[in-house]
C-alpha cells in the first residue's frame, strides 16, 4: 500500500515509490465521501502515474580490471574494455565516459 487518504481531503504517500522496481507505475485510487445519511455517498477516481527520477548513478561493471602488456605495445592499441550500466530509464539512464 503506497497511498492513504484520511479525513482532511488529501492523499498521502505512505512509503517511498521506486519507479525502477515497480511492475506497474499506474495506480488507480478510489475515494469516497459521505455524510451521516448512509445513502449520501459519492465516489471519486484518481489515477496516479509515477515517473522516473534520476536517482541511480551509472556503475562500472566490473569496476576494476588488471591489464598486463609488453613494454613495446603499439601506441594506440586498446588495453582494456569497460562498460557501465544505470538502473534508471530513458534519459535518466544516459551517461558518458569522461
Ligand atoms: Ca541515472
Ligand atoms: Ca529512477
What are the residues whose beta carbon lies below 5 Å from ligand 1 (ion)?
54, 56, 86, 88, 92
Q: Are 41 and 35 in contact (CB under 8 A)?
A: no
Determine the pLDDT at residue 5: 78
- Ligand 1 centroid, distance to 88 Cα (angstroms): 5
β-pairing verdict for 11-13 and 41-49 = unpaired
Q: Are 49 and 18 in contact (CB under 8 A)?
A: no
**pLDDT value at 6 more than 80:** no
Determine the pLDDT at residue 25: 93
User: Which grid cell is 17?
Assistant: 515509490
Instruction: Determine the Cα–Cα distance for residues 37 and 51; give it in Å rounded to an integer.
Output: 40
**pLDDT value at 2 more than 90:** no
Q: Which ligand is located closest to the Cα atom of residue 86?
A: 1
pLDDT digits (tens, 9 = 90+) for 18-75: 999 999 999 999 988 889 999 999 999 999 999 999 999 999 999 999 999 999 999 9
User: Which grid cell is 88?
Assistant: 534508471
Amino acid at each position: 500500500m503506497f497511498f492513504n487518504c484520511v479525513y482532511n481531503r488529501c492523499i498521502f504517500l505512505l512509503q517511498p515509490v521506486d519507479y525502477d522496481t515497480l511492475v506497474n507505475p499506474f495506480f488507480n485510487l478510489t475515494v469516497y465521501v459521505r455524510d451521516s445519511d448512509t445513502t449520501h455517498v459519492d465516489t471519486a477516481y484518481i489515477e496516479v502515474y509515477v515517473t522516473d527520477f534520476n536517482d541511480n548513478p551509472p556503475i562500472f561493471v566490473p569496476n576494476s580490471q588488471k591489464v598486463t602488456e609488453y613494454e613495446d605495445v603499439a601506441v594506440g592499441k586498446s588495453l582494456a574494455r569497460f562498460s557501465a550500466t544505470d538502473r534508471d530509464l530513458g534519459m535518466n539512464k544516459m551517461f558518458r565516459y569522461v
